[in-house]
């Protein structure tokens, strides 16, 4: 029984050792930086919101290998990006390019902001126009002020008589 428990513990502890760590050789540091930039900026087609560097899926491993091969073959960043977009669509890019299909993504927030500011301006103008003001900026007319003064003086005299 003790042997089985020890064997089970050793197997569990050995699981991380079975994980594959991809290591690619590069001729220059610039190639390594380009590779790292691509695997951070490209999205895994299988994983919904995970980049290639963080994904363990088979397709992500294939794409990392493909990117390495393309960099080593001397392909430009534009060629590599275009290859990925042609193969997987704009979804593979975390920052999609501006075109007819992605115009809503890029312009939507700006349109909503302008629309919200327009509605706010319209409502504030409407609110100002419903509040009557005199030429001197007072909200109360002269007649209303006299009436208020009379009510306040009546209140003062009624309080004075109660004391």
- Is the pLDDT at 34 greater than 90? The verdict is yes
What pLDDT does 95 receive? Answer: 73
Instruction: For residues 80 and 160, give the distance between their C-alpha atoms in angstroms, rounded to a whole number.
Output: 91
pLDDT band at residue 20 under the 50/70/90 scheme? very low
Pick from 48, 38, 33, 36: nearest CA to 85: 38
Instruction: For residues 7 and 139, give the distance between their C-alpha atoms in angstroms, rounded to a whole number.
Output: 88
Burial of 71 by CB count in 10 Å (0-12 exposed, 13-18 middle, 19+ buried)?
A: buried
pLDDT band at residue 88 under the 50/70/90 scheme? confident
What pLDDT does 56 receive? Answer: 82
- Is the pLDDT at 145 greater than 80? The verdict is yes
What pLDDT does 143 receive? Answer: 87
- For residue 36, give Cα distances in angstroms to 46, 55, 68, 75, 76: 20, 14, 10, 15, 15
φ, ψ for residue 43, nearest 5 deg: -90, 145
Instruction: For residues 58 and 64, give the distance between their C-alpha atoms in angstroms, rounded to a whole number.
Output: 10
Question: What is the model's pTM?
Answer: 0.52
Percent of the chain beyond pLDDT 70? Answer: 83
Residue ranges in the chain assigned as alpha helix (H):
2-18, 29-41, 58-72, 77-88, 103-130, 142-162
What mean pLDDT comes out for the span 32-47?
Answer: 88
Cα angle 109, 114, 100 (rounded to 5 degrees) comes to 45
Average pLDDT, the chain: 81
φ, ψ for residue 144, nearest 5 deg: -65, -40
């Amino acid at each position: 029984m003790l042997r089985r428990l020890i064997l089970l513990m050793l197997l569990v502890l050995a699981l991380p050792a079975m994980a594959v760590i991809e290591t690619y050789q590069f001729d220059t540091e610039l190639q390594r930086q380009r590779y790292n930039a691509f695997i951070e900026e490209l999205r895994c087609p299988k994983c919904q919101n995970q980049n290639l560097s963080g994904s363990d899926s088979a397709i992500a491993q294939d794409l990392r290998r493909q990117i390495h091969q393309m960099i080593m073959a001397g392909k430009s960043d534009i060629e590599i990006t275009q290859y990925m977009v042609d193969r997987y669509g704009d979804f593979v890019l975390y920052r999609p390019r501006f075109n007819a299909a992605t115009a809503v993504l890029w312009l939507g927030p700006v349109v909503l902001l302008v629309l919200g500011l327009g509605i706010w301006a319209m409502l504030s103008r409407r609110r100002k126009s419903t509040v009557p003001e005199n030429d001197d900026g007072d909200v109360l007319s002269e007649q209303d002020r006299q009436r208020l003064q009379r009510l306040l003086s009546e209140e003062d005299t009624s309080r004075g008589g109660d004391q």
